[in-house]
Structure 1
Amino acid sequence: MNQFKSFTTPNQGPSISHLFFADDATIIGDLSMENANSIKRLLRCFYLISGLKINFNKSVLYGVNLDHDEIHLTASVIKCQSGSIPFTYLGLTVGANMNRICNWAPVINTFDARLSKWKTNTLSIGGRLTILKSVLEALPTYFFSIYKAPKKIIDILEAKRRRFLWGSDENARSVNWVSWDQVTTLKAQGGLGLTPLRDANVSLQNGGGDLKQRNIVYGDVSFSQYIIYLDVIRSSHIKNTVQERRNTWLWRWKRQSLDQNEAQQLHNCQSILAQVHL
């Protein structure tokens, strides 16, 4: 159809026209009146085929390195809102300099909000350690998987975890019974098994850890325990891998095949789209 000019990534990379996540859709392309009118026609066609109407009052047009007046004019053609960078999308800050401490405020505020709900004095050290492992370690995971945290942010979050574990606050200090290095050492090595946030950030930046190293761990769990097929390829220890598999779980990513009704619906939809001319 070639009605919409998408965004082409540099270095002969692919062209990106849209991204879908759950019920959210992002359309990416050059800012022009032709593209704006094409978007309107495409969304109108989608509405006529599916019966699902787009709510333009909740839609926002953003521009990268573009004049705000031009963005606002194009948004008026689509009849949606115009926005500016940085903005928040799916809980993440987009377009901001994440090397600046202020842009990590959502993570710090989330830590503070969770800690304010718990009474430190009513929990034992074991209870606090359980909360640190099950809740506070997971809070920054989303940001850590996308951005590399500055050292200052890691220090701030680690300080909050230390104060919570030992029952102290900014006004009153308590006894630290063991060093923080001991707290973040594996249980098998005599520590308490808490994961250092810097290690967690580096691991998530690498897509879950350096898979070339079998001794990479997240907390007390080895990645090779879950990525069993990698071990088969690398070491061919099929017997050991099968035994390991019994103690873990696997995701089923493969979708079931289309049944007859779904296949017919897909064929009908393709037939309708083939006859559409914008």
Structure 2
Amino acid sequence: MCNNYNKYLGLPTIIGRSKYKSFRELKEKIWKRICSWKTSFLSTAGKEILIKSVLQAIPAYTMSVFKLPGTLVEEIEALLARFWWRHGNLEKGIHWRSWDKLGRAKGRGGMGFRDLGSFNRALLAKQGWRFIKDPNSLASRIFKEKYFQNSGLLEAKLGSGPSFVWRSIWSSLDLVKGGLVWRVGNGESIKI
């Protein structure tokens, strides 16, 4: 039996002052995966599929619970860009376009790669949306009791000494509010 309580369900149990150190393992997982592939045998289409279906999926579970530090997101995207532009076993390749431009939809001249920062915010907003849609879920009841007892989720304050999970979800509530305004503006009725 292991007495290591640093992780639970693959997520860190304790987030210290250095958020970067807490989530650095994601970058290392992506790097190990990249190093395990023989890039000399991959076509451009093969690299595209590996980036979209494998590499960008590695941090998705963690990003649905925690807001990743911006520097870590930038470093992960830099790893993906290096993998994309590398030819054969060479470490470097010429970066003909910025990663931001490659993130555009294919119809707009990009490759359709995810912007991980925006994806992180969207996943956290989805958690907030779940609190609104299913107020009787266990997670919703716990967060309501702890952080917004006397108000609704959309009026909730950050509070003093919040958990990093609540701080992450709270930071994306503007997206939830924007989505509600759009839905109501298009004729849907929303019960909150």
Give the whole-Å Cα distance in 2 for the aligned partners of 1:181 and 1:147. Answer: 23
Partner of 1:107: 26
Is the alpha carbon distance of 1:168 and 1:196 closer, same or farther for their aligned partners in structure 2, counting shifts above 3 Å? farther
Give the whole-Å Cα distance in 2 for the aligned partners of 1:149 and 1:99. Answer: 11
Contact 2:77 2:99 in 1 (8 A): no
In structure 2, give the amino acid aligned to 1:146: V
The higher radius of gyration belongs to 1
Give the whole-Å Cα distance in 2 for the aligned partners of 1:100 and 1:172. Answer: 29
> Higher helix proportion, which one?
2
Partner of 1:152: 71
Deviation, structure 1 residue 177: 2.5
In the superposition, the TM-score normalised over structure 1's length comes to: 0.44
Give the whole-Å Cα distance in 2 for the aligned partners of 1:102 and 1:172. Answer: 25
Give the whole-Å Cα distance in 2 for the aligned partners of 1:192 and 1:95. Answer: 37
- Secondary structure of 2:95's partner? coil
Contact 1:99 1:150 in 2 (8 A): no
In structure 2, give the amino acid aligned to 1:139: I
In the superposition, the TM-score normalised over structure 2's length comes to: 0.61
Alignment of 1:119 onto 2:38 = yes
Give the whole-Å Cα distance in 2 for the aligned partners of 1:98 and 1:115. Answer: 29
Contact 1:145 1:205 in 2 (8 A): yes
Give the whole-Å Cα distance in 1 for the aligned partners of 2:11 and 2:98. Answer: 34
Partner of 2:100: 181
Is the alpha carbon distance of 1:207 and 1:98 closer, same or farther for their aligned partners in structure 2, counting shifts above 3 Å? farther
Gaps of 5+ in 2: 128-171
> What is the number of residues matched between the two proteins?
140
* Bigger RCO (CA 8 Å, 6+ sep): 2
Deviation, structure 1 residue 96: 2.2
> Higher strand proportion, which one?
1
Deviation, structure 1 residue 180: 1.7
Deviation, structure 1 residue 131: 0.9
Gaps of 5+ in 1: 1-56, 59-80, 215-229, 238-278
Give the whole-Å Cα distance in 2 for the aligned partners of 1:126 and 1:92. Answer: 32
Give runs of aligned pairs for residues 1-278 of structure 1, distance below 5 A: 87-97=6-16, 99-167=18-86, 172-207=91-126, 210-211=175-176, 213=178, 235-236=186-187
**1:171-225 CA deviation, whole Å, 9 max, x = no partner?**
73212232222101122322111111111111112126835556xxxxxxxxxxx
